[in-house]
Amino acid sequence: MKLLKATQGAVREAATVIRRGGLVAFPTETVYGLGADALNPQAVAKVFETKNRPHFDPLIVHIARPESVGRLSSGADERALQLMDAFWPGPLTLVLPKEEVVPDLVTAGLPTVALRMPDHPVALDLIREADTPIAAPSANPFGCLSPTTAEHVRAQLGDKVDLILDGGACRVGLESTILDLSGEQAVLLRAGGVAVEDLERVIGPVETQTSDPTRPRAPGQLPRHYSPQTRLVLLEDATPPVQPNEKAGLLLFKARGHQEGFAAVEILSPGGDLEEAAARFFSCLHRLDQAGLDVIYAEPVPETGLGRAIMDRLRRAASRSAKAGRATGRS
């Protein structure tokens, strides 16, 4: 495994690895992706094997220019064009009817393909240099915390990856929003880096549909996902007292008091800004997960804008819910 700063030469080397059927971890504005040539089934199979990812869970295909949609999909309608114009490059994945050139392994046998144009110069340069669309889920073992730095990738996947491009910390820090446009009604499959409210300002009402865990239509739809190794409890009201002999961590949305007794505390945004909270979310959880804790208590965030995506990740990560037993004075 090579870990290289994302210079122009390193990107060229990474593109060669992709063209030869290898795996490259690379930065996007959302999280680091584990990339392979999306049109090479053997290369894509390595992604599933490396992540220990179930084959019924489809992958997102990353492209470098909107014109590539026509090669991979047969169904980019007016809604798709409007959203591409408004949010690409950016953290929005569109699910569209697929063309035959896309291997069934990429789409888990579904008649649709998930497409995204990332908003990161390293990702775009890599796709252009490789001259092929790149299938890339998050660069971590399946179900674990998503990586937002190259060091997260190295720690979780190590020598299982041919090359890691270090492009610094991810700016958005949460996975992309996934929107299904394969039918008449636009359907939100995963909350993410583009708020639903912003999508609806462009194309009108978006339906939220409960997923079938045995047949996900997009990544991140399984009930338990994005999980630290440490048990995580999502609080419903207030922070519980730390139990005797319990080494507990606390994940707060914003700065406040009443942190006594916790072995480690991470604050997503001292001022309560949801964009900052999203950008710091996985990094904060990684640090808590590495602190040797017995349990992590996580404070909920407001479910507006990016807060909806943060809460989606917390609910999937939580091993159980807990009602708190004492007041905190949290505003």
Predicted TM-score (pTM) of this structure: 0.89
Establish whether the linkage from the previous residue to 133 is cis, with ω within 30° of 0. no
pLDDT value, residue 330? 28
What's residue 151's pLDDT? 97
pLDDT reported for residue 305: 94
The pLDDT value given to residue 322 = 37
Residue type at 132 in one-letter notation: T
Strand order in the sheet with 264-267: 264-267, 248-252, 295-298, 231-235, 320-322
**Three-class secondary structure of residue 330 per DSSP:** coil
Burial class (CB in 10 A: 0-12, 13-18, 19+), 243: exposed
Q: Which CATH superfamily is domain 231-322 in?
A: Threonylcarbamoyl-AMP synthase, C-terminal domain (3.40.50.11030)
Amino acid 13 reads: E
d(CA 77, CA 83): 10
pLDDT score, position 198: 97
Q: What is the mean pLDDT of each run of 10 residues along the chain (331 residues)?
A: 96 98 98 98 97 92 97 94 98 97 96 97 98 98 94 96 98 97 95 96 90 60 71 81 87 86 95 96 96 95 95 83 33 25
pLDDT at 243: 81
Q: What is the pLDDT of residue 321?
A: 36
| Sequence spans of domains, the chain | 2-208, 231-322
Per the DSSP assignment, residues forming a β-bridge with 36 are 135
Q: How far apart are CA 21 and CA 328, in angstroms?
A: 54
Fold topology of 2-208 = DHBP synthase (3.90.870)
- Give 94's strand partners: 115, 179
pLDDT of residue 209: 73
CB 173 within 8 A of CB 31: yes
Determine the 3-state secondary structure of 289 from DSSP: helix
